[in-house]
C-alpha cells in the first residue's frame, strides 16, 4: 500500500469506487473519468507502479481478470468491441503510478482511434535496425 496512491486508497476503502469485481489479488472498478460508458480499470490490490514492477503471478491474475471482464463489460453497455490497454510509465501517459489495465468499450463512430494513432511521428526503421532491436530484446531476457 502506498498512502499517496489514489488506487491504494480505493483498495483500502478510504475513497469510494464502483467495484465490478474483487478477489484477494485484484480489484476492478469503473473509471471515475470514463472515456466511454463502462470504462473499467483492473488493478492489482498490492501497489506496483508499472508492469515491470509487478510479480508475474500477480500480472497473470490481472490479465485473467481482464479476460473474464471484457465480455461482461461489453455486454453490460451493449458495446460491439473494446480497447484493452496499459499505459506503462509516465512517458506513456500513465497518470496514476499504480499498474492498471483499461477496458474501454468502443462503439461505431465514437471518435476513438486505433493504437497506431497514439504516435504521430513514427520511426522509419531499416531491416538492420529492426534486427538489432530484436537481438537486444532477446539478449535482455537472458
Q: What is residue 43's predicted lDDT score, i.e. its pLDDT? A: 98
Q: Are 22 and 11 in contact (CB under 8 A)?
A: no
Per DSSP, the three-state class of 71 is: helix
Per-residue pLDDT averaged across 18-30, rounded?
A: 98
**Residue position matching grid coordinates 507502479:** 49
* Rounded Cα gap, residues 99 and 105, in angstroms: 20
Q: What is residue 69's predicted lDDT score, i.e. its pLDDT? A: 98
List the catalytic residues: 100
Given a cut of 80, whether residue 1 has pLDDT beyond it is no
| pTM for this predicted structure | 0.93
What the chain holds in terms of domains, given with CATH numbers, is: 6-115 (3.30.428.10)
pLDDT tens-digit series, residues 31-73? 999 999 999 999 999 999 999 999 999 999 999 999 999 999 9
Amino acid at each position: 500500500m502506498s498512502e499517496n496512491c489514489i488506487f491504494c486508497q480505493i483498495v483500502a476503502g478510504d475513497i469510494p469506487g464502483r467495484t465490478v469485481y474483487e478477489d484477494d489479488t485484484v480489484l476492478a472498478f469503473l473509471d471515475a473519468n470514463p472515456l466511454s460508458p463502462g470504462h473499467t480499470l483492473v488493478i492489482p490490490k498490492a501497489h506496483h507502479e508499472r508492469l515491470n514492477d509487478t510479480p508475474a503471478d500477480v500480472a497473470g491474475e490481472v490479465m485473467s481478470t481482464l479476460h473474464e471482464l471484457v465480455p461482461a463489460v461489453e455486454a453490460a453497455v451493449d458495446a460491439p468491441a473494446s480497447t484493452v490497454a496499459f499505459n506503462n510509465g509516465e512517458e506513456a501517459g500513465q497518470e496514476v503510478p499504480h499498474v492498471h489495465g483499461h477496458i474501454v468499450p468502443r462503439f461505431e463512430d465514437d471518435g476513438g482511434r486505433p493504437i497506431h494513432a497514439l504516435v504521430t511521428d513514427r520511426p522509419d526503421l531499416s531491416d538492420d535496425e529492426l534486427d538489432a532491436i530484436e537481438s537486444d530484446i532477446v539478449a535482455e531476457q537472458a
